[in-house]
Structure 1
Amino acid sequence: MCPPEHFTVEYAINPWMDTKIAVDGALALKQWASLRDTLTDLGHLVHVLDARPGLPDMVYSANGAFSVDGTVYGARFKYPQRAGEADEHRAFYAEKTDNWRFFAPEQVNEGEGDFTYLPGAYGGIVLAGYGFRTDPAAHAEAQEILGRPVISLKLVDPAFYHLDTALAVLDDRHVTYYPEAFSPASQRVLAQLFPDALLADRSDAEAFGLNLVSDGRHVILNTEATAMGHKVRAAGYLPVHVNLSELKLGGGSVKCAVAELRP
């Protein structure tokens, strides 16, 4: 995670960003700390990246890389405003060379924003989004680097510009997603792969209820996503709500703020 010490909305690169709305920096830091404390209270180890001036979106640390079994596929951001974040994430893994094998990408991709992993599904598969940020050629590149099958899914609604705004992993084998965020063909692929998926509706997705983090039992999601909280509880998980209203101003929520490490 990376604290929002320099978080502002200085530019608009997704439909949620409005440069006319001011960010409450102190509140953003307080909310971020609440998310970090929630994770540690649940028994998770949180590494903290130092925030850097000039990189206001660095708080969305999920976008900086994607790791599977100790192999790290680095990010290459679409927009120049965020390009410097990739170097900060690469430096983090370089400090831990005994545990990680880092690969710099040739293709544009935005890390866990558009990649996620299910170790218990079909022997271990990667789901990968494209359509707005990540180049589909990055999916093939990631497959060669990670040695895991990569399933390409086309995003079609600009409001859900990253995979992690439209789909979330609940445990090693199960997902939840908003079907209409995907192309008809990708909807058919998801239905075939995950016939028992927990389906979300547009109001869930617009509340960033799919931008969640799950440890297989606890599902951490923002306080606005009350309906999604009821759905995951009915599915047998324990919802844990955290208020991240300020981070939503930049187009992100719980998952965007957390890069999951898979050593």
Structure 2
Amino acid sequence: MGQVITSADQLDFTTGDISDMPLPTDVLMVRPLHFSVDYVINPHMADQVGKVDKIEANNEWELVRSLFNQVGMNVHVIEDQEGLPDMVFCANQSLPYIDEDGKRHVFMSIMHADERKDEVPYIEQWYRQHGYEICYFDEDKISDFEGCGDAIWHTGKRMLWGGYGYRSSLEAYDTISEKFDIPVLAVELVDESFYHLDTCLCVLDENTALIYPEAFTDEGLAMIDKMFDTVIRASKYEAEELFACNASCPDGRNVIIQQGCTDVNKNLRDNGFSVHEVSTYEFLKSGGSVFCMKMLLW
């Protein structure tokens, strides 16, 4: 069923028509010992250079890790590297997948910013050590792709949501769709503050999503509304200042989210989700929160 869909008019199936995929069981995280804001590659980093409290950042990271443990995930930790202050945001360097035979694959990213390109080999080494088939893009055809920052699996389904416009090329999804034989619903991002799909879309379960609507085109919103029964809409403040949509719901029940997202959290609870608030204020200075800080795996 490999195809890249960019319009609601092209959707001739529902999620019920898509084959099931196991929920992730594991989480990969990168320790933040060298995390800091040393440069500006997104609007959230402006005026934050040199302002990270590293002790507090480590404390926040440890709490995020413990929450993933508490909700039943098996957490793996990679040590970060000096000179790679954004390596902690390990949603970005890869896109893992488990096929119907249980074989694990991973596409390695082509990072958009030169400052982050050297992160990828360290993440690739971990995948090699754990038996994943490593897949690559043709860099003569694909200029950039930032992993699960822009490519988000539809919970429990062999279907991918793909953001493009700032950090990932639309053409990358042709390669992914062909390799994994899956549909990719590609949505254009139109607000530079929401430069990755994971800043404005959180897939909560098969039928529910959390979004910041102004980050999408009308066509993208139409696809989201068509594929989810319930769409929770975050306010500009909670989405932009608190990264509400950068939450993580690894099991379709438990949502780990930046503290203070009052309206979103009420909506989450009203829709049956368990909310676990955590401080990621130091990481917000670099334009990331819970979803950015981990990679879900099988």
- What range describes the TM-score normalised by the shorter chain of this pair? over 0.9
* Structure 1 segments unaligned to the other structure (5+ residues): none
Verify: 1:222 aligned to 2:258, yes or no: yes
Partner of 1:211: 246
Distance 2:232 2:244 in 1: 12
Distance 2:210 2:182 in 1: 21
1:203-251 alpha-carbon deviations (Å, 9 max, x no partner): 2311201101112111000113232211111111010001010000000
The change in CA–CA distance for 1:138 and 1:169 in structure 2 (over 3 A counts) is: same
Partner of 2:61: 32
Which of 154, 157, 161 is residue 118 of structure 1 equivalent to? 154
SS at match of 1:168: strand
The change in CA–CA distance for 1:205 and 1:235 in structure 2 (over 3 A counts) is: same
Verify: 1:3 aligned to 2:31, yes or no: yes
Measured after TM superposition, the shift of residue 74 of structure 1 is 1.2
Distance 1:185 1:217 in 2: 28
Partner of 2:296: 260
The change in CA–CA distance for 1:38 and 1:119 in structure 2 (over 3 A counts) is: closer
Distance 1:36 1:199 in 2: 27
Which of 219, 223, 232 is residue 268 of structure 2 equivalent to? 232
Verify: 1:13 aligned to 2:41, yes or no: yes
Identical aligned residues as a percent = 33
> TM-score with structure 1 length normalisation?
0.94
Measured after TM superposition, the shift of residue 42 of structure 1 is 1.8
Measured after TM superposition, the shift of residue 145 of structure 1 is 2.1
Higher relative contact order (CA 8 A, sep 6+): 2
SS at match of 1:256: helix
* Structure 2 segments unaligned to the other structure (5+ residues): 1-28, 99-103
More strand by share: 2
Is the CA contact (8 Å cut-off) linking 1:68 and 1:117 kept in structure 2?
Answer: no
Distance 2:94 2:236 in 1: 28
SS at match of 1:158: coil
> How many residues are treated as equivalent by the alignment?
258
Distance 2:153 2:235 in 1: 22
Partner of 1:155: 189
Is the CA contact (8 Å cut-off) linking 1:75 and 1:86 kept in structure 2?
Answer: yes
> What is the root-mean-square deviation in Å for CA atoms of aligned residues?
1.4
SS at match of 1:66: strand
Partner of 1:189: 223
SS at match of 1:73: strand
Which of 23, 29, 33 is residue 52 of structure 2 equivalent to? 23
SS at match of 1:102: strand
SS at match of 1:31: helix
Q: How is 1:131-142 mapped onto 2 (pairs within 5 angstroms)? A: 131-142=165-176
SS at match of 1:84: helix
